[in-house]
Structure 1
Amino acid sequence: MAGGMENRSRKRQVLSFFLCLCVSLGACETIRYSVPEEKKSGSPAANIAKDLKLDVGKLSGRSAQLVSKSSKQYCELNTSSGDVIIKKNIHREDLCGQRDPCVLQFEIVLENPLQLYRKEVQIEDVNDNSPNFSKNEFVFKMPEQIPINTHFPLEGAQDSDIGTNGIQSYVINPNEHFRLDVQTLDTDGSKYAELVLEKQLDREEQAQLMLILTAADGGLPQRTGTARIRVNVLDSNDNFLQFSQSVYKVQLMENSPKGTLVTKVEASDLDQDSNAEITYSFGQVPDKVLKLFKLNQLSGEITVLGIIDYEERSNYEMNIQATDGGGLSAHCKVLMQIKDMNDNAPDVTLTSLTSTIPEDSSPETVVALFSVSDRDSGNNGRTFCSMQDNVPFALKSTLKDYYELVTQKPLDREKVPEYNITITATDRGTPRLTSVRVIRVQLSDINDNPPVFNESSYVMYLKENNPPGLLIGTVRAADLDTEQNAKVTYSALPGNIGDLLLSSSISINSKNGKVYSLQSLDYEQRRDFQVTVRAADGGFPPLSSEVIVRVVIIDENDNAPFILYPLQNSSSPANDLVPRSAEAGYLVTKVVAVDGDSGQNSWLSYQLLKATDPSLFAVGLQTGEVKTSRPITSPDFVKQKLVVVVKDNGEPARSTTSTLNVLLVDGFSDAYLQLLDVPEEEEQQDTLTLYLVISLSFISFLFLISVVTVIAIRLYKTRQCRDQYVPSSRNFYSDRNFPTNPAERSGTGTLPQSYCYEVCLTTASGTSEFKFLRPLVPSLPANPSVALGTSILEIRLQLRYSRS
């Protein structure tokens, strides 16, 4: 016992030295601890933090975990103290049977950075089992003529303990015929006993012997087991049995079906009759072997009775005893080698998994750590791993049988939000067996996509004179990201609409992108404008994009036509002179009007609304030209009043009227007098004299002031008119230096600019012919009424001068 304790102490010293060496070098693959069996649950087995020189507080921060290699979890890690705790009571005999050493394997896995430490807990045997024989009594039949020193193998006792706690010795009670010879098996070092005859038996002297066989282990305290041996002395049987082979060596494939023939042992006997009747039986065979194999007592055939598992035990040794009818027996050994077959698929054990990773994870980012093991041996236990090719991940071999699943290519959550990665573990046996483990990896979103508008630019339409707060349209932008990174808000960039700030005219709902008008807009002031809309997401940092929104103001018919000529608000009416010799189609004058609207709303038409003689004059529908529709006759009144209505093409249409006074004269010599008489029909009788006196005084005053200038101009004009006059032409238009119509430039469809006209008499003034509608100014002044008034005054002065 002292020697056993000394060996155990020395073994612990070696383990402690091995552990210290591994921790100090940091390169040892496995650290082993020793724990006695039957230790209570909750008892500490080791302190990982102390042995690995790690800060206890960092164990939780680095997600330390204990990964067991066995099917049952016997140990667990206390991350707050660093202790490895016994989780459940360990029975070494249930866990390992007769296997020595009995080792529990596990790994300690640390993350950030990834580190792995292999640990082993050796379960030390405690002497808690006594030796036990399969029978309480063993019966031997021995002829009285058996030679001295004949050996009779005895069935050994079974002890679930191992090592020194297993069976160490056999003894029998003192007697004069037999002694005990204890042998050791070469295969596993177990001991068995043989009964040796030391003195010749004499049936006549003693027909039966009773012996006590005691088996003792080497534990402390020592445990023993006993069985009785009954020896019946038989009458002489002088021929011994003999096996064909002393040792039978056979091979058996694991998982062989029940009833499979393992081998057949044969023994021969030269005796006859009952002495030659041979029966076979197992000798010194554990109970477990008896449950796996069956021996035919008559034929000696050994067949499979139970399930043969190579992973549980790879070889068996059986002692076979043949006994004849006379009680003589012979013995042989059967050495059975179990051949491994590929009946265990690889096992994939996931040690660490990061199920969600950012989509911007860099290559070689570790996603999962797992190990692959196979209980088979040889090529049947060698494994390799693979995965599908169409994923941006790769397998990387690290320690023995450990693999890392790492990123290999850039990831994009918007294209593939998650991956189901199939890990296939395959062994190299025949046929090959595989195991499949699916690892699900989800990608978390980062803000890597700006909002994108569904159109490259927007055109929205708004009618003028709109009420404030009117919805114009909606802009839409989509973001491929998720959650907060995809939350889009809209805003308008600062700017101006003419003299107005954009923010005072346009508003955009930041949530839904709806565009509203904050004030009423006028087409005549601005026909369109642009606003830049920005869409920004809610990520950090936020991403944005911009789009141009063009708001087109649609014209409404809110402007009535405006008469440029003849001017209607003048204090004196407009009068036009028409010689009585004029033929049909004679151009009397032209009504010129414009409309502030555009498009169809500015298309103007002219109609004769009322006239003194409606049959005498006609108005051009599109041009506004007032012409005679027939020759003038003597019954026609000298004073003709025309009312021309100018109407646009809007909906509803708007109109303006223009009043014209036309004098029918025989010649321009009396035109002046008739011109002065025109107001008599227009004004009331009580104010006629006053207006006439004022008009004559004003005209006379102007005449006296400008007479010198007019004479000079007249001389020049007379010469110019003589050069340009063509007798066959009734009306003359000069379009030299004719200015571009601003209404045409703007596309509104309004009539050309107004012109001033002068009446220039020809040299033959008595014929009452005159040159008409010659432009005096190149363009319309800012105040059309002033310009037209000046032109009319020039006409009247020249008429008066011509008459004089």
Structure 2
Amino acid sequence: MESCLKNSPGLYLLFLVSVSRVMCISIHYSVPEEKKTGFLVANVLKDLKLGNGELSARRAQLVSKSSKQYFHLDTLSGNLLIKDKIDREALCGQTEPCLLLSEIVLEDPLEFYSIEIRIDDVNDNAPRFSKDEFALEIPENVPINTLLPLESAQDIDLGKNSVQNYTLSPNEHFQLEVERDNSQHKYLHLRLVNSLDREEQEEFVLTLTAVDGGVPKKTGTVKINVSILDINDNFPQFPQTEYKVILKENSPQGTLVSRVKAVDMDFGSNAKITYSFHQVSEKTQNLFRLNKDTGVITVWEEIDYEKECSYDMNIKATDGGGLSGLCKVLVQVEDMNDNAPEISVLSLKNIIREDSALNSVVALFSVTDRDSGDNGKSICSVDMNLPFALTMAMNNYHQLVIQSPLDREKIPEYNVTITAMDRGSPRLTSSRIIHVQISDVNDNSPAFDKTLFEMKIRENNIPGLLIGSVHAMDLDTEQNAKLTYSLLPEKIRDDFVASYISINTETGNIYALKSLDYELIKDLKATVRASDGGIPPLSSDVTVHVTVIDENDNAPFFLYPLQNSTFACNELLPKMAETDYLVTKVVAVDGDSGQNSWLSYEILKATDPGLFSIGAQNGEVKTRRPLTERDSSKQRLVIAVRDNGVPPQTSTAMLNILLVDGFSDPYLKVVDVRHQDPEDDGTLTMYLVICLASVSFVFLLCIVSFVGLKMCKKDHGSSFIVAPPHFPPVIPENCTDSQSGSLSRNYQYDVCLTNGTLSSEFRFLRPLIPVLSVPDPNILVSSGSQGIPELLDNKESSDGVSKFLYGETC
């Protein structure tokens, strides 16, 4: 085994500078012809210096340089076996040595091993003559030692298996002579050893035997009939002994190849010359036709340069007397570009990852052209718009490699057309289409349809109600595009968002887990994450804003007079009050929002319906006319408040108004009041004690809160807002007259008690929202009872005033 690097110094230099690990080693084997299929030629593992199983692991392939594969490589054992019976004569003819060229191609790394297998000849063919009989006609005056040419036998075997010797049957007149020329061709002649006498014997029958050198020897015989003619002492002669002709391949039938002409100086039949092939193979005689009369040689069958590039023919000219002459015609076939390049794909990766590295090999193929010269040289190309390129390996092997990054989301597959073009004229091309699929990798994150999903849900919803849906897309495929939705752990009012809503991991539908209350949660924000199923997984987040829509589910609530209170609410009204006198102001709130919290007031029932009116928006109770003596001293009003929701909700409260001349007047007339309302007499004193204790406690609480707030403000150096005391129900801090029905200003009421009161009619107005500033006790402010200062100046009631109380409402 010898290395091809030794035969080519240029390849050796290329090997040193090449980054590829391609190896080229030539291995020689020999095998006799006619061996049966499965015959072991050799085991290549030792010559290739490879271990068991390495051929299979490296995907070894045996590539034949001929059109037919005669051998098979067992990649498991490394045995090189005969695949089909080989006939050396049919394969190579007379060419010696008869070689079959193949290559073993290994991958990872790429290596080439050239295999040359010599087909050894065996003696499987006996010598043959072109005819069963040869007829010779010899003039009787032929001198002794005259040589008569004979046609030699043809043995398609080579070497010692070809014709080695000739024998001639015993006779007295002829002797066999065998001559060799410079090319070791054997030429047979009959030498005349004794003069001829036609009158004694006019014909000789000889047997010529050809013997080959095989074991066992094989023979072939031919009968030679020698006829003795009359005198013909001139031989046909050619003007030149050798003719050279150039013939284009694929020349049509009948094309003139050459014309030979011989001249005989004799006359008559002795001068009539006929032409014939002499010692020309049967194959050559099938390709050409020789006109026996004119000596014209024409094309008879297709001339293929790839099969045979030259032919030599011996032309024999025989005159009528049996004398002959020889000349040689040499036909050189001119190659034509009649074979397109052939593309053979040896290795192909039909599916490649989209993140494959640049210069990764996609396919390995070879290009061959049976023509010669420029006609046999070819160039390969692919479309320039594809992310693939061709690189040259060696020995007409090419690689299809990746030259630019792949993106499956843009182009998922390619049909790569490889075009091979030779350099002949006209140029011939061939193409091969390779289908390459791009496999997906997880290189795209999920993308939501929106950057923010806005959803709405009405409060008091049913648990499990579908709120909305989020949707994301992933440009990848299969598992890489399978999305899973989830909620990120976030808190809303100290609870995780997952306690309010849930999401379907597959569809992205968002459901409410519990009934929502607008008064507690007006909206909530959650972060939804979409994760794909790739490795590693990719994800994207989006914000979902759920707005809770308010419903009219809260009835208005009276703050003053306090709704559902066990104590009756009494207001004092001087009898001298004029029209539009502000008696008091009722205050109500609604826990809803928007138009559901717009409140309107009306008087449902009154002791005297024409005496009082109420502002529909601000809740101010005023007199509609001046008071008269006929008006009852205790008026009772049933006031209703209605919101603007659909359907509207209503609440009612009761207000008692006491008519007084002065602060002491109603208490001096205890008997009359009791007569009007006897149910209030027994409990008034108890109510008074409870109210005084409550006012004192609230006042003390306000003072302590105020001092604590001031101290905190000094410590922290910042302002703050004091939350109101929690009186059920919760009172909104921002109240307006026209919208929410709440008071916009503070009212203070002064109440006087007489010394002689046994059972007082006192009605305490306890503060609902404390005021942080302490009023000046020397200043009495009353926007709802203008008659009280006058009572203080009245001498008749000066001894009945014992104490002042301060109160405020909101």
Residue 747 (structure 2) pairs with residue 757 (structure 1): yes
Structure (1 or 2) with the greater helix fraction: 1
- Secondary structure at 2:479 match in 1: helix
Superposition deviation, residue 314 in structure 1: 0.6
Does the 8 Å CA contact 2:571/2:655 hold for their aligned counterparts?
A: yes
State the Cα deviation string for residues 611-637 of structure 1 (Å, max 9, x = none).
Answer: 445555544444334455667677766
2-side partners of 1:551 and 1:56: how far apart?
Answer: 70
Aligned equivalent of 2:682: 690
Aligned equivalent of 1:473: 468
1:515-530 superposed matches below 5 A: 515-530=510-525
% same residue: 54
1:198-213 superposed matches below 5 A: 198-213=193-208
2-side partners of 1:98 and 1:294: how far apart?
Answer: 22
State the Cα deviation string for residues 491-530 of structure 1 (Å, max 9, x = none).
Answer: 2222222122333333222233222222222211121222
Superposition deviation, residue 19 in structure 1: 11
Aligned equivalent of 1:785: none
Aligned equivalent of 1:363: 358
2-side partners of 1:794 and 1:604: how far apart?
Answer: 23
State the Cα deviation string for residues 50-86 of structure 1 (Å, max 9, x = none).
Answer: 1112111323222223233333332222222221122
Letter in 1 for 2:178: V
State the Cα deviation string for residues 146-192 of structure 1 (Å, max 9, x = none).
Answer: 455555443332222123322233343344444444345667x5434
Aligned equivalent of 1:542: 537
1-side partners of 2:525 and 2:669: how far apart?
Answer: 56
2-side partners of 1:581 and 1:745: how far apart?
Answer: 29
State the Cα deviation string for residues 392-426 of structure 1 (Å, max 9, x = none).
Answer: 22222122211122222222222222222221122
Q: 306, 319, 331: which is aligned to 1:324?
A: 319
Does the 8 Å CA contact 1:743/1:749 hold for their aligned counterparts?
A: no
Q: 32, 36, 43: which is aligned to 2:28?
A: 32
- Secondary structure at 2:54 match in 1: helix
2-side partners of 1:431 and 1:19: how far apart?
Answer: 34
Does the 8 Å CA contact 1:492/1:508 hold for their aligned counterparts?
A: yes
Taking structure 1 as the reference length, the TM-score comes to 0.81
State the Cα deviation string for residues 541-585 of structure 1 (Å, max 9, x = none).
Answer: 2222222222222222211112223323340224263766534x5
1:776-787 superposed matches below 5 A: none
Gaps spanning 5+ residues in structure 1: where? 1-15, 707-738, 762-774, 783-790
Does the 8 Å CA contact 2:572/2:785 hold for their aligned counterparts?
A: no
Residue 154 (structure 2) pairs with residue 164 (structure 1): no
Does the 8 Å CA contact 2:340/2:422 hold for their aligned counterparts?
A: yes
Does the 8 Å CA contact 2:571/2:584 hold for their aligned counterparts?
A: no
1:128-527 superposed matches below 5 A: 128-146=124-142, 151-184=147-180, 189-527=184-522
2-side partners of 1:460 and 1:697: how far apart?
Answer: 56
1-side partners of 2:329 and 2:345: how far apart?
Answer: 43
Residue 78 (structure 2) pairs with residue 92 (structure 1): no
Superposition deviation, residue 336 in structure 1: 0.5
Cα separation, partners in 2 of 1:744 and 1:692, compared to 1, 3 Å: closer
2-side partners of 1:326 and 1:793: how far apart?
Answer: 170
Letter in 1 for 2:568: S
Residue 46 (structure 2) pairs with residue 54 (structure 1): no
Q: 98, 102, 107: which is aligned to 2:103?
A: 107
Gaps spanning 5+ residues in structure 2: where? 8-14, 16-21, 698-723, 725-730, 752-764, 773-780, 798-810
2-side partners of 1:591 and 1:700: how far apart?
Answer: 23
Q: 35, 58, 65: which is aligned to 2:61?
A: 65
Does the 8 Å CA contact 2:618/2:742 hold for their aligned counterparts?
A: no
Does the 8 Å CA contact 2:25/2:112 hold for their aligned counterparts?
A: no
Cα separation, partners in 2 of 1:750 and 1:116, compared to 1, 3 Å: farther
Does the 8 Å CA contact 1:639/1:678 hold for their aligned counterparts?
A: no
- Secondary structure at 2:303 match in 1: coil
Letter in 2 for 1:93: E
2-side partners of 1:258 and 1:302: how far apart?
Answer: 11
2-side partners of 1:58 and 1:695: how far apart?
Answer: 110
- Secondary structure at 1:380 match in 2: helix
Superposition deviation, residue 337 in structure 1: 0.7
2-side partners of 1:90 and 1:279: how far apart?
Answer: 41
- Secondary structure at 1:242 match in 2: coil
Taking structure 2 as the reference length, the TM-score comes to 0.80
RMSD (Å), alpha carbons:
4.0
- Secondary structure at 1:484 match in 2: helix
- Secondary structure at 1:557 match in 2: coil
Does the 8 Å CA contact 2:378/2:421 hold for their aligned counterparts?
A: yes
Superposition deviation, residue 439 in structure 1: 2.1
State the Cα deviation string for residues 708-741 of structure 1 (Å, max 9, x = none).
Answer: xxxxxxxxxxxxxxxxxxxxxxxxxxxxxxx9x9
- Secondary structure at 1:582 match in 2: coil
State the Cα deviation string for residues 260-287 of structure 1 (Å, max 9, x = none).
Answer: 2222222334455444443322221211
Residue 114 (structure 2) pairs with residue 118 (structure 1): yes
1-side partners of 2:676 and 2:258: how far apart?
Answer: 150
2-side partners of 1:400 and 1:255: how far apart?
Answer: 28
Q: How many residues are matched?
A: 727
2-side partners of 1:118 and 1:701: how far apart?
Answer: 118
2-side partners of 1:86 and 1:479: how far apart?
Answer: 56
State the Cα deviation string for residues 97-136 of structure 1 (Å, max 9, x = none).
Answer: 3232222222222222222222122111111111111210
Letter in 2 for 1:39: K
Cα separation, partners in 2 of 1:491 and 1:434, compared to 1, 3 Å: same
- Secondary structure at 1:72 match in 2: coil
2-side partners of 1:682 and 1:234: how far apart?
Answer: 186
Aligned equivalent of 1:127: 123
